[in-house]
Structure formats: C-alpha cells, structure tokens
Chain A
Amino acid sequence: MTDGLIDQSEPLLSNEPSVALATLVAATGSTSKKVGTKMIVGESGRLIGGVTIGGCVDAQVVEAADALLETGGRRVLSISLDDDEAWEIGLTCGGTVDVLIERVNVHDIVDPVAAAHVAARASLARGESAVIATPLDGEPAALVLSEAGARHGTLGDSALDDAAAAIAADVMAGGSRIAPIENAGATRQYFFDRQSPPTTVVIIGAGQIAMSLTRMARELDMRTIVVDGRERYATRERFPDADEIRVGMPSEIVAAIAPTKRVAVVLIAHDYKYELPVLRALLRSPVGYIGMLGSRKRGDAVRALLSEEGFTDEELARIHTPIGLDIGGKSPPEVAVSILGELVAVRSGKRA
C-alpha cells in the first residue's frame, strides 16, 4: 500500500490483527503528498507508507498512532509544518496537515473501515472508482459509493447516506476532501476518500524501452500491458514485471481494451506498421493519453497521413510526439524515465 487501500492479503499485515490507519485528510501550504495518502502503523511497530515525504511529521503521526493502538478510537492530528528549528535556518515548508488516525481490525469483517476497504478494492478491480465516506470523530462508520452508484456499508441512517452520496458524486470528479453533513440538528465533518483504479499503460512494441518501462511503472502504481505482433519479443522472460503480455495484431488488441481516461497508450515500436493502425483505433476513443516515439518531423508525417484519412486537427493534436519530457536522455532506461515523467504529469493534471 502506498496511497491506496488496506490490502488484507498483504503479507506484511498477516500478523497484524489491528493497525492504526493514518490518512492525510487536509493540507494547507506546501505539502508533498496529496490528500488521501495513507500510512499504516502496525501493533508490532511495522510501518507501511507515509503521509508526508518524511521527516518530523511522519514521526509525530507514528507516535500518535502508537498511542491510539493502546486506547482505540480515532482522532484528527493537526500538525504545523512551521517547525521552529527549521525556521531558523530557512528550511521550513510552511502550512499545516490534518491526519485522521483510526484503529482498524484488519481481518475483522465487522470492522466498518476494514469492510469498506474490501468493498472499495472490489470496485477498483471492476475498473470503477470508489469514494469512502467516514466521520472524523465519534464511533467508526464507513460508506462506500462506487462509480456505478452501488453502496456498501452505512454512516448510520439512510438520510446521512443519501447526503454522503450527493457529495461523493462531486468528490468522484474533484478529488478527496472533508465535507460537513447536517443531520438531525447536528453537523459532523466527514472525510470523502476517492480511490481510483491505477493507470493502465498499454505499451506497443516489446523492445528495450518497454522492458525499462514495465520495471519502473510498477513503482509508480501503474499497470502495464505489453503488446507486439512478435512472439519472440513479447515474452515473459523479457517482461517479468508486466501485468499482461499480449501477442497479436496490435490495433485489434488495443481496440479490445476498455478505452477509459485511465488508459495511456505508449507507441514505442517506432514502426508505422503498428503506429498507423493503432492510432486509427485510438484517436476517436476517450483514452487519457496517446504518446508516440519519434522526432517532431516523423510525428508530422504520421499526422499528415492520418489527416488525409479524415482525422481532424483536434484529434491529431492528441498524439504526444516526441513522447515524454525533454530530459536529454538517450538510453532505453532514460527514455523510459522521460515517458513515465510525462505520464505522471498527465495523471496529476500538470499536462493535458
């Protein structure tokens, strides 16, 4: 687990009957992680993930989590990032972070938070986003709302659940946040935690850059599908880290993959025999990213051919070529870093 959900099948959790789950629920100023990022602190002292990039904040969260494992319950820990000592030497980050810490009985299906994480994981496995709504104080409760509208669990009563569902629809599009809900004359704060399926990177061309991409993408929580027409290239031996390897006609394989915003297609075969048919299959689909290896001149030539076939300027502008961020690298691992850098920029909204 990094930013995501408790995974009950995670070997590190097999000997942890209960854990403290710390979730970054709000942040102001210059923070290094996004709202929703999590850390698990086990009874044994085991740590998984982190709510900040490191340093003194995570240490304070671990300390609070250790205490909460003794007492049970939940609390919000507010931490100022204006550390006095850091201020003196000009290293302060500035701002505050609020971290919800709650004890979760990981393997207890009656525990509402553990059950919510199981339900949310099932939603992600179906390719749907999910929002977990949970109160910031009081008794533990959790409601999971899937992208398709399914509900699992409850916040206490149907009026609360309906109000949470209305907010979840907005969170699904805008991202995790705290929101108040008024019910029976009282107002409570709830955290709405959006969980999205990982980006799937479809790699066309099973060459050396693809080998580097599959290794590095795993670290970035991206799924990879390697596609090629050549059985001798697209082998498990060459791609031990790929989630899937598919051999066949690349344009047909790509067309059969559900074309969502969370699919990125990376054309690195550097061969028009794959580029043109795959682009024909993709340019009018809603995939989130299309990148093609090659020079600007080559990209223009491919666009010109497709333009003759009736593709519009707007459709052709979706092709990122030259692919990747310009970091000056030439070797396959360096090109892979540049491609993944661009995919991260697109995922975080820094690039269209």
Chain B
Amino acid sequence: MTAFRAIVLEHFRHPRNRGPLDDATASAEGANPLCGDRIRVQVRVIGDTIHDARFTADACAICIAAASVLTAHVRGMPVNDAARVEPRWIHTALEGEPPAGRAKCAMLPLDTLRRALAASGGVAP
C-alpha cells in the first residue's frame, strides 16, 4: 500500500475535526456536482485568527482525508495565511497526489474553507 493510500484510509476511518462547530462564526458548503461529494466547513474566527475549524461531509475517502488534515492545519492560523494554503500543501500532507480524475475530491475542502473564510469577512475567496 502506498503512503498516500495509507494516510487517506487512516484519516477516513478516524477523521479529525469531523462534526458541527456550534459556535462557528462562518460556514460554507461545497459540492462536486457530478460525483456528489458534499462538505460543509465551519470556522470560528476571533480577530484575525482561526480559533477552530470543523467539517461535516458525505464524501469519499480522499475528500474526507483532505478535510481532516486541512482543518487540523489551519487551527490557530491567521486568516490570511489560511486563505493562502496551496493545493500542493494537501498533496504534501497526504504524501501523494490523488489518482487521475480524483483531483477535485482533494481540492473541495480547500475551496470550501476559502469560501468560509471569505464569509467570515477575512479575505476574498
């Protein structure tokens, strides 16, 4: 088993930060229109800092793993820095790139996080 696959499966079975964030200050929902992945990312921003980030998803293993590593990464991070997280950071965290045709699965949480941060008034998506 590749490192990518092992990490994805571990996060899929034991996702970090899954579940609603009761005191969220902003939220965004995203979907991959053909495969049906759906995710909601919620953040609690105080001042310029992300104090908490959680997600809820009916989505594939790659999408959930990406959401898991991403929400853990941006906790405690300044909003502007979080908004500048690049797709390649997801690949690094998962120790590999998704197979052909599945790139959108890994990018959906990042795109949705950016929109949540924009909704919080932090940065433009």
- A complexed with B: yes
Chain A residues proximal to chain B, CB less than 8 Å: 228-233, 248-252, 269, 271-274, 277-278, 305, 308
Contact of A273 with B56 in the complex, beta carbons under 8 Å: no
Contact of A229 with B31 in the complex, beta carbons under 8 Å: yes
Chain B residues within 8 Å of A228, by CB: 36
Contact of A232 with B58 in the complex, beta carbons under 8 Å: no
Contact of A249 with B33 in the complex, beta carbons under 8 Å: no
Q: Write the B20-41 contact mask toward A (1 if CB under 8 angstroms, else 0).
A: 0000000001010111111010
Q: Tell me the B32-55 residues at the A interface (CB within 8 Å).
A: 33-38, 40
Contact of A249 with B34 in the complex, beta carbons under 8 Å: no
Contact of A273 with B31 in the complex, beta carbons under 8 Å: no
Chain B residues within 8 Å of A231, by CB: 31, 33
Q: Tell me the B5-33 residues at the A interface (CB within 8 Å).
A: 13, 29, 31, 33
Contact of A230 with B34 in the complex, beta carbons under 8 Å: yes
Measured between alpha carbons, how far is A305 from B34 in the docked complex, in Å?
25
Contact of A229 with B38 in the complex, beta carbons under 8 Å: yes
Measured between alpha carbons, how far is A249 from B40 in the docked complex, in Å?
9
Chain A residues within 8 Å of B123, by CB: none
Contact of B34 with A229 in the complex, beta carbons under 8 Å: no
Measured between alpha carbons, how far is A91 from B40 in the docked complex, in Å?
63
Contact of A230 with B58 in the complex, beta carbons under 8 Å: no
Question: A230 touches which one: B33, B57, B59 (CB < 8 A)?
Answer: B33
Chain B residues within 8 Å of A249, by CB: 29, 38, 40, 56-58
Contact of A277 with B58 in the complex, beta carbons under 8 Å: yes
**What are 23 A-B pairs with beta-carbon distances under 8 A?**
A229-B36, A229-B38, A230-B31, A230-B34, A230-B35, A230-B36, A231-B31, A232-B33, A233-B36, A249-B40, A249-B58, A250-B58, A251-B58, A252-B56, A252-B58, A269-B36, A271-B36, A273-B36, A273-B59, A273-B63, A277-B58, A278-B58, A305-B13
Contact of B33 with A274 in the complex, beta carbons under 8 Å: no
Contact of B34 with A232 in the complex, beta carbons under 8 Å: yes
Q: Which 7 interchain pairs have the tightest Cβ spacing?
A: A229-B38, A229-B36, A230-B36, A277-B58, A273-B60, A249-B38, A249-B58
CB nearest to A233 among chain B residues:
B36
Beyond A229-B37, A233-B36, A249-B29, 7 additional contacts (C-beta under 8 Å) are: A228-B36, A248-B38, A249-B57, A272-B60, A273-B36, A273-B63, A274-B36
Chain A residues within 8 Å of B63, by CB: 273
Contact of A308 with B13 in the complex, beta carbons under 8 Å: yes
CB nearest to A273 among chain B residues:
B60
Interface hub of A251, A272, A273, A277 (most chain B Cβ within 10 A) = A273
Interface hub of B37, B58, B60, B63 (most chain A Cβ within 10 A) = B58
Measured between alpha carbons, how far is A250 from B39 in the docked complex, in Å?
11
Taking the nearest CB of chain B, how far is it from the CB of A83, in angstroms? 57
Taking the nearest CB of chain B, how far is it from the CB of A307, in angstroms? 12
Chain A residues within 8 Å of B34, by CB: 230, 232
Measured between alpha carbons, how far is A233 from B33 in the docked complex, in Å?
9
Taking the nearest CB of chain A, how far is it from the CB of B106, in angstroms? 14
Contact of A273 with B37 in the complex, beta carbons under 8 Å: yes
Taking the nearest CB of chain B, how far is it from the CB of A269, in angstroms? 7
Chain A residues within 8 Å of B38, by CB: 229, 248-250
Chain A residues within 8 Å of B13, by CB: 305, 308
Measured between alpha carbons, how far is A251 from B58 in the docked complex, in Å?
7
Taking the nearest CB of chain A, how far is it from the CB of B109, in angstroms? 14
Measured between alpha carbons, how far is A308 from B10 in the docked complex, in Å?
13
